[in-house]
Structure 1
Amino acid sequence: MITRRRFTQGTMALGAAAALAPGLAGPARAATLGDDGLYKQDWFVDSFLDMGDDLSEAHAVGKHFVVMFEQAGCPFCRQTHEVNLTRDDYVPYLKENFSIVQLDLFGAREATDFDGEALEERALGRRWLVNFTPTILFFPNDPAAVAGKTGHEAEIARIQGYLPPFYFYHFFEWVRSGSYKEEGFQRYSNARLEEMRARGQTRDTWRLG
């Protein structure tokens, strides 16, 4: 896992280099199973769970802030890690453009919402109306846009449940590109589907690039 100090010191240099060499973020690696029963990615941010601080730090290095709620024994969480987050064709893009904090939907660690309210992970999940795992929440990359708000008020999009790789990647792209401000994800992904079919690919054979 990446510590807060390593995140703030290391990713600024990495982000600048990655802009010149997008593959620098390295290949995807297999997830490991933690003591809490959640699958871990070594590039996820291990923070003090202060959402406002984490978003500000993501903003400082030009990334979008994302919170991923999971739970032990969740088959769709496992599939997300073992299928989607092992894809060498697009995981470097995720690493370069998103700061992801993992939370346990039934966890008891203290987390601080954007409005300053401190509560356990499980209570934060209820406050944010998270009912399924995985649930992946995306937030604006401007700290001023979330100040004084709850996460539920501040979020700009969410993934609920498992999305196959094609849709998973393009959902992140839809957010990162700012397209979410102009059109819904269904319309955006349909356009990407047409592009894919024009190249003679199917959703099962699709790869980025």
Structure 2
Amino acid sequence: MHQITKSFAAAAVCLTLGHTAGLTATLGEDGLHKQPWFTITFKDIAEDIQTASDEGKRLALVFEQRGCIYCKAMHEKLLSDPEVTDYIKEHFIVVQYNMFGDEEVIDIDGEELTEKTAARKWGYVFTPTIVFLPEDIPEDGTVADSAVATMPGSFGKWTFLNMFRWVNEKGYESDEHFQKYHARIINELREQGRLGSD
């Protein structure tokens, strides 16, 4: 797997947003908020699925855009929470996409696109949108065809984190729909006295 180094990402950022428990988000020249643990790749989807699998993780794509207040909130409120980020980093590789960007993307079907034409092809129109890919490279189809789950928009901590948990636990293969899974986890959190904002 060809991988651009983290130092390249560090060079691309220009504004520190803040610190929470040692986690730092930055604002890149493209206007997107960055996490130091996001993975920078050549955006070849099949290759990225394989890399994630080799590391015992899953691939998640996050679509954002310049000036997106919901993306900003996601970074400042959710991705600054160690409970959220520790879980994601342990189980997922997250690759950021610019909804209107021009970086090259290679779809699962081999079509060469840009970030913005990929977003249109796959039908993603909201930011942030997080797309969860399968463990293994599909034999054919596109990202939209192959995604096991999609989370469009901004949510509270437990909805957000539970979606990552549900995908990691392969809830999409069970009879327990995400909403039922989420409700069960919320009830457990309530019983433990840990219920947050949602």
TM-score, scaled relative to structure 1 = 0.83
Q: Which residue of 2 aligns with 1:127?
A: 121
Q: Which residue of 2 aligns with 1:19?
A: none
Give, in angstroms, the shift of residue 109 of structure 1: 1.1
Q: Which residue of 2 aligns with 1:172?
A: 164
For 1:30-41, what aligned pairs fall within 5 Å after superposition?
30-41=24-35
Match of 1:189 among 175, 182, 186: 182
Q: Which residue of 2 aligns with 1:155?
A: 147
**C-alpha distance in structure 2 between counterparts of 1:117 and 1:28, whole Å:** 40
Give, in angstroms, the shift of residue 30 of structure 1: 2.1
Q: Which residue of 2 aligns with 1:23?
A: none
**C-alpha distance in structure 2 between counterparts of 1:30 and 1:100, whole Å:** 16
Deviation string 1:116-157 (CA, Å, 9 cap, x unpaired) is: 0001110100111101000000011112xx232100100010
* Number of residue pairs the alignment of both structures matches: 182
**C-alpha distance in structure 2 between counterparts of 1:196 and 1:67, whole Å:** 28
**C-alpha distance in structure 2 between counterparts of 1:35 and 1:142, whole Å:** 33
Structure 2: where are the runs of 5+ without partners?
A: 7-20
**C-alpha distance in structure 1 between counterparts of 2:22 and 2:150, whole Å:** 23
Q: CA RMSD in A?
A: 1.6
**C-alpha distance in structure 2 between counterparts of 1:30 and 1:110, whole Å:** 27
**C-alpha distance in structure 2 between counterparts of 1:147 and 1:69, whole Å:** 24
Question: Does the 8 A contact of 1:105 with 1:121 survive in 2?
Answer: yes
Match of 2:110 among 104, 110, 116: 116
Structure 1: where are the runs of 5+ without partners?
A: 8-26
Question: Does the 8 A contact of 1:68 with 1:100 survive in 2?
Answer: yes
**C-alpha distance in structure 2 between counterparts of 1:177 and 1:159, whole Å:** 16
Question: Does the 8 A contact of 2:4 with 2:40 survive in 1?
Answer: no
Amino acid at match of 1:99: I
Higher strand share: 2
